[in-house]
Amino acid sequence: MKVIEVHNLTKTFGSFTAVDHVSFEVAEGEIFGFLGANGAGKTTVIRMLCGLLAPTSGKGSVVGYDVSKKAEDVKKNIGYMSQKFSLYEDLSPVENMELFGGIYGMNRKQINKKTEEIIKDLGLTKERRSLVGSLPLGIRQKVAFAVSTFHSPKVVFLDEPTAGVDPMSRRIFWEMIYRASDRGTTFFVTTHYMDEAEYCNRISIMVDGSIKVLDTPERLKNNFGAGTMDEVFQILAGKSKNQVQ
């Protein structure tokens, strides 16, 4: 089953084409790496897929809902976590989960059950009642992940989820992604860490509003004769018009 389907998706702002006829599909349970330089149009695509911005033309559907016509249904069925913290720092992890569960319309029983599951799963027993603001960044990242997946969405958008996090916490974060994807959750991830690009099942690289390549990390490296994803990225994004400016 395709969880995300995008066909010729386009967004223009005045005379500027931010996203130019982008097409791709993401399968259920897939970890899809959505890469590109600053200003390539990644955020615009994510905002359209989350039902926050109407496309100028083209089609997009997320979990079967059309992003232009069924934006509210899209929002109910996705999870979202960004580099900027969306947690309430003066609430505890459990209170944050209760709040977000409530917003997504879960009842008390569902919330309690899910909270216990997640606390156990992510090893947050010790920190469950501490204020989020007092927790180390690596732990906060875990809580933010827990909150973004709390209402059991089929697809989760992670926008630079590990920016600035220490190398070990970064890896633990990816292990959480792996575990959830193993159980069928689909992930749509952006990152500036090129080693993390290698953790994805497939990757697209966006340059100046279009997707230049889309394949598995292994095949991309082979096709470009590159040893790492960083080299592939440098070759492709280095040709951007924006970079020349």
Partner 1 sequence: MAMWILNDLLNMKSIISIHHVSKSYEGRTPVTALQDISLQINKGELFGLIGPDGAGKTSLFRILTTLLLADLGNASIDGMDVVKDFRKIRMYIGYMPGRFSLYQDLTVEENLKFFADVFNTTIAANYDMISPIYGQLAPFKNRRAGKLSGGMKQKLALCCALIHKPYILFLDEPTTGVDPVSRKEFWQMLRALKEQNITIMVSTPYMDEAALCDRIALIQAGKIMQVDAPAQVIANYPFRLYKAKASNNYRLLETVKEQDNILLSYISGDQVRLVFKENDRRIDFPGIELEEVEPTIEDCFIQLMKNESD
Pick the piece of the chain touching partner 1 (CB under 8 A) from 64-72, 99-107, 144-152, 156-164.
156-164
Q: Which is nearer to partner 1, 101 or 209 (CB)?
A: 209
Pick the piece of the chain touching partner 1 (CB under 8 A) from 43-51, 97-105, 120-128, 234-242.
234-242
Tell me how far, at minimum, the Cβ of 89 lies from partner 1, in Å.
9
Within 172-231, which residues bind partner 1 (CB under 8 A)? 174-175, 178-179, 182, 192-195, 198-199, 217-218, 228-230
Q: Which is nearer to partner 1, 11 or 114 (CB)?
A: 11
Interface residue with partner 1, options 83, 96, 115, 149 (CB under 8 A): 83
Residue 165 binds partner 1, judged by CB under 8 A: yes
Q: Are 161 and 83 in contact (CB under 8 A)?
A: yes
Interface residue with partner 1, options 137, 184, 219, 222 (CB under 8 A): 137
Binding site for partner 1 (CB under 8 A): 36-40, 83, 131, 133-134, 136-137, 160, 163-169, 171, 174-175, 178-179, 182, 192-195, 198-199, 217-218, 228-230, 233-234, 237-238, 240, 242-243, 245
